[in-house]
Amino acid sequence: MYNDNPTLNIQTTNKTIDENKQGEVFFQDKSVDDADKKRFYIESYGCQMNFSDSEIVASILAETGYVSTRNMEESDLILINTCSIREKAEDTVRKRLRVFDKVKSNRPGTLVGVLGCMAERLKKKFLEEEQLVDMVVGPDAYRDLPNLIAGADDGERTVNVLLSREETYADINPIRLLSNGVTAFISIMRGCDNMCSFCVVPFTRGRERSRDAYSIVAEASNLYDKGFREVTLLGQNVDSYKWSAPDESESVNFAQLLERVALVHPDLRVRFSTSHPKDITDEVLHTIAKYENICNYIHLPVQSGNSRVLKLMNRTYDRAWYKERVQAIYRIIPDCAISSDVITGFCSETEEEHQDTLSMLEYANYSMSYMFFYSERPGTLAARKYEDDIPLEVKKRRLSEVIRLQNQISFKHNQTDIGKTFKVLIEGDSKKSDQEFKGRNSQNKMLVFPKKEGLKPGDYVEVKVLEATSATLRGELVD
């Protein structure tokens, strides 16, 4: 998987995904009672799963007695939750570590820890070569944070990057970081069994395991009771979700889990990310069509439109299979929006094969895409087996062509919405004006519209679209 979980639902189509998206996260304001407590500061990079993991980390630290801060200068513990999906993401983390090192020099005793995928992949380098960190913690070792912090306080460089076949953190109630109080993530599974040749995720996050279905439904119910109105079910490949009771009295697949979460309340919207083309079933599609509160939006990464390249990528489907899945989505859910991930310049890709990717964009009529040029990751099958033989300037030129075409498709896609009225969940103020609200429709499109007295984030409203760009719809409230 090459970042099948797009960062924070970014819905821009005129640039590649910002894998360096920084999340300065916190969970509460300081109070008088917090005066003597230690403070932690955490930044998150990469996919939605990393941001979800940071919420688990915050909960574990809170149980240990830490409180959060948005000011790293006053923190006793600085954590960075990392992404290894591209070299640029790793370079950004190294730059941030040098910034943190300056904070440490000005505040003796401050600890710095690296979490997540880079921790797993570069543990030795961080601890022995760069010596910029006090602890290195892999995605399955967050429960061990109190022990690792204690060891680092005693002057040790501590590490736990052991992968687990059981850990799902199902019993930990995440603390919602930088929450808007309306939308939230729920992790339903961890790890990945899809050995895509370009991807490090199976090596950094371990084997696939699904979380107890009852704990997922309970978390969704709890979020609704707290005022949240939308949840996104997260997994590297949600369609392979499969949970069985310990006594084997029941089993739950992804379609059944979707239905259970949808039944929590009709006003709780349900999204999910990410689907794998080889695993998404008609049962899932019919479940989406059955429930109005399951959003009509599917992120279905294609990566390449050419069958030979897909085979090299070990995606386990070909062009014809992918096109059939697209046909099924539009047949069963006619007003569904589909988005995708695209990689240009994979090993040995020809110009003709690149044209197949462009034609797939048009065929699938993606509402938006996350677009990258190929970045070789050490340790992957592609790095071991294939030559990274496409010149960088060719990769970038092909990427520019993909972006240009997707912009055109997205613009046309949004233009067809002018005059239509959508049910929109208000998420908060628009970025440009506190006189306007922003919110998404079922198809995951962002709508901006003037405020009206009495409305607030978390409310559902009807909005008629008046104009559209390639990324945003603008409209007006309809009674």
Does the structure show a pLDDT above 80 at 165? yes
State the greatest distance between any 2 C-alpha atoms of the chain, in Å, as a whole number: 65
387 and 430 both lie in a single domain: no
Phi and psi at 424, nearest 5°, equal: -125, 135
390 and 343 both lie in a single domain: yes
How far are the Cα atoms of 114, 232, 324 from residue 54, in angstroms, in the given order? 12, 16, 37
Q: d(Cα 298, Cα 290) in Å, to the nearest integer?
A: 15
203 and 81 both lie in a single domain: no
Asked whether residue 178 is assigned to any structural domain, the reply reads no
Q: d(Cα 248, Cα 158) in Å, to the nearest integer?
A: 39
250 and 268 both lie in a single domain: yes
276 and 129 both lie in a single domain: no
In this structure, what CATH number is given to the domain that contains residue 72?
Answer: 3.40.50.12160
Phi and psi at 219, nearest 5°, equal: -65, -40
Asked whether residue 442 is assigned to any structural domain, the reply reads yes
- The pLDDT confidence band at residue 438, using thresholds 50, 70 and 90, is very high
Task: Give the pLDDT confidence score for residue 393 in this predicted structure.
Answer: 98
3-state secondary structure of 183: strand
Domains contained in the chain, number: 3
138 and 282 both lie in a single domain: no
Asked whether residue 176 is assigned to any structural domain, the reply reads no
Asked whether residue 110 is assigned to any structural domain, the reply reads yes
Asked whether residue 76 is assigned to any structural domain, the reply reads yes
The boundaries of the domain holding residue 37 are 7-160
107 and 210 both lie in a single domain: no
258 and 132 both lie in a single domain: no
Q: What angle do CA 388, 4, 203 make, to 5 degrees?
A: 65
329 and 430 both lie in a single domain: no
In this structure, what CATH number is given to the domain that contains residue 362?
Answer: 3.80.30.20
Asked whether residue 326 is assigned to any structural domain, the reply reads yes
441 and 400 both lie in a single domain: no
Report the range of poorest mean pLDDT among 44-48, 153-157, 321-325: 44-48
Q: d(Cα 129, Cα 115) in Å, to the nearest integer?
A: 17
262 and 147 both lie in a single domain: no
Q: What is the pLDDT of residues 341-389, one digit of tens each?
A: 999 999 999 999 999 999 999 999 999 999 999 999 888 999 999 999 9
Task: Give the pLDDT confidence score for residue 34 in this predicted structure.
Answer: 61
373 and 435 both lie in a single domain: no
Residue 44 tokens read as: 């998150």
Asked whether residue 173 is assigned to any structural domain, the reply reads no
How far are the Cα atoms of 63, 123, 348 from residue 479, in angstroms, in the given order? 46, 57, 56
Task: Give the pLDDT confidence score for residue 13 in this predicted structure.
Answer: 31
Q: What is the pLDDT of residues 291-339, one digit of tens each?
A: 999 999 999 999 999 999 999 999 999 999 999 999 999 999 999 999 9
Asked whether residue 202 is assigned to any structural domain, the reply reads yes
